Chain A
Amino acid sequence: AQKVTQAQTEISVVEKEDVTLDCVYETRDTTYYLFWYKQPPSGELVFLIRRNSFDEQNEISGRYSWNFQKSTSSFNFTITASQVVDSAVYFCALGKVYNFNKFYFGSGTKLNVKP
């Protein structure tokens, strides 16, 4: 079965704090994609990152970093020095490589960054 779990429903931090959003997935596929999306209050879903299952290298983009660990089936997302503009709902998703209409979203984590 394919499943994505985001156990943190809502997180509140104060500006400049670091915050990590957890994502745990389940799949029987040997190759797959993992994604993170940001949904600000405006409602648009903004693509942040895609990871292929055979590339476990961590990635950093500015204040954002992602830790992919196949051994624990996790793909966690860290925001360093959070800002108010980071306030949004963040979704982790699992995608099948050869059947791209099969996209499995987590339930989302709402991040509130307070000034």
Chain B
Amino acid sequence: SAVISQKPSRDICQRGTSLTIQCQVDSQVTMMFWYRQQPGQSLTLIATANQGSEATYESGFVIDKFPISRPNLTFSTLTVSNMSPEDSSIYLCSVAHQETQYFGPGTRLLVL
């Protein structure tokens, strides 16, 4: 399996600010994904991040709000920009590895 770490594990932010979440995996992977999980809900895919190309965003998510970087095959960042209380969620990164998606521990974000 792939071992994934995320930073920060949790944060409390003020509305209007931005937060960058880091995702590090212990092996080189082609596909990395960012998900949002709102309180009590299932997971929703924000975007797919492939190294060397622009991230592909799902319907309802835009690059200006959720810019993503993928500088190499083991690392990615997701920025939540101009935050509002509605952005309070768990943000999870995952990787496709050996025909399975493995998930990081998540970042719990609370926006006041």
Please state if B108 and A43 are interface contacts (CB–CB under 8 Å): yes
Please state if A47 and B102 are interface contacts (CB–CB under 8 Å): yes
Q: Chain B interface mostly helix, strand, loop or mixed?
A: strand
A-B contacts, CB under 8 A, total: 50
- Among B33, B42, B104, point to the contact of A101 (Cβ < 8 A): B33
- Among A33, A44, A95, A106, point to the contact of B42 (Cβ < 8 A): A106
For chain A, the bracket of interface size reads 20 to 34
What 17 new A-B contacts, CB under 8 Å, besides A47-B100, A47-B101? Answer: A35-B101, A42-B105, A43-B105, A43-B106, A44-B103, A44-B105, A44-B106, A47-B1, A91-B42, A93-B101, A95-B101, A100-B96, A101-B45, A103-B101, A106-B42, A107-B41, A108-B42
Give the residue name and chain of the A residue nearest to B9 (CB). A43
- The answer to whether A43 and B90 touch (CB under 8 A), given A101-B33, A101-B48, is yes
